[in-house]
Amino acid sequence: MMHPATELRFISEEVGFGVFARQAIPCGTITWTGDELDQRFTRDEVARLHPMCRQAVERFSYIDPAGVFVLCWDHGRYVNHSCDPNCFSAGFQFEFAIRNILAGEQLTDDYGLMNLQAPLQCRCGSENCRIVIGPDDIEHRAPGWDAMVRTSFEFIGKVDQPLWTVLQDRGEVEAVLRGDRDIPSCAFHRFQSE
Ligand SMILES: [Zn+2]
């Protein structure tokens, strides 16, 4: 489920749609969380879908740590990738703003956490664009990403959280904010196929 102060906007024929902030979203705000309306498909179930449905699932879903295809039911499935994203995920089933997001700004995350099935050409235009987003990016980049998340995670406990009660891992997040446990690594998201 996306943060309620976000909306879908058409960007261009090349990019398609994207998700934008309708108001300022401060650093630490949970911008998306998995919820019980998301549709989940095993690889076999995807293979049995009508080709047009399969295409939609392959384009708009992410693959979770168990290898399940998750198709977000709302505009969460239109969040675009950036190599300099303003939303990110630690080792939890939610994303949060890792810096202040301005009203009208596009929300972006990193598809390096989504277990891509094939490399993706990137034209995000950011200074640090990786050009190719690889399925294995998480292997090399998790330590750097964890360090990035660490600088903004504490703000989760300091800002309004409209999605807080939807969060499935609230207890663990509270334990982190109390200092009782470390922030779990984003490497949690990696699906390791046999
Ligand atoms: Zn890029």
Residue 165 belongs to some domain of the structure: yes
Domain that includes residue 173, residue range: 6-189
User: What's the total number of domains in the chain?
Assistant: 1
Residue 1 belongs to some domain of the structure: no
Percent above pLDDT 90 for the chain: 98
H or E element at residue 154: none
Q: What pLDDT is stored for residue 133 in this prediction?
A: 97
Q: How far is the CA of 169 from the centre of ligand 1 (A)?
A: 30
Residue 129 belongs to some domain of the structure: yes
Domain containing 31 — which CATH number? Answer: 2.170.270.10
Q: How far is the CA of 158 from the centre of ligand 1 (A)?
A: 30
Cα 168 off chain centre by: 15
Q: How far is the CA of 138 from the centre of ligand 1 (A)?
A: 15
From CA 15, how far away is CA 178, in angstroms rounded? 41
Residue 179 belongs to some domain of the structure: yes
Q: How far is the CA of 21 from the centre of ligand 1 (A)?
A: 20
Residue 194 belongs to some domain of the structure: no
The mean per-residue pLDDT over the stretch 20-30 comes to 98
Q: How far is the CA of 71 from the centre of ligand 1 (A)?
A: 23
Residue 30 belongs to some domain of the structure: yes
Band (pLDDT 50/70/90 cuts) for residue 132 is very high
Band (pLDDT 50/70/90 cuts) for residue 194 is low
58-97 pLDDT per residue, tens: 999 999 999 999 999 999 999 999 999 999 999 999 999 9
pTM here? Answer: 0.96
Name beta bridge partners: 20.
7, 106
Q: How far is the CA of 127 from the centre of ligand 1 (A)?
A: 8
Residue 159 belongs to some domain of the structure: yes
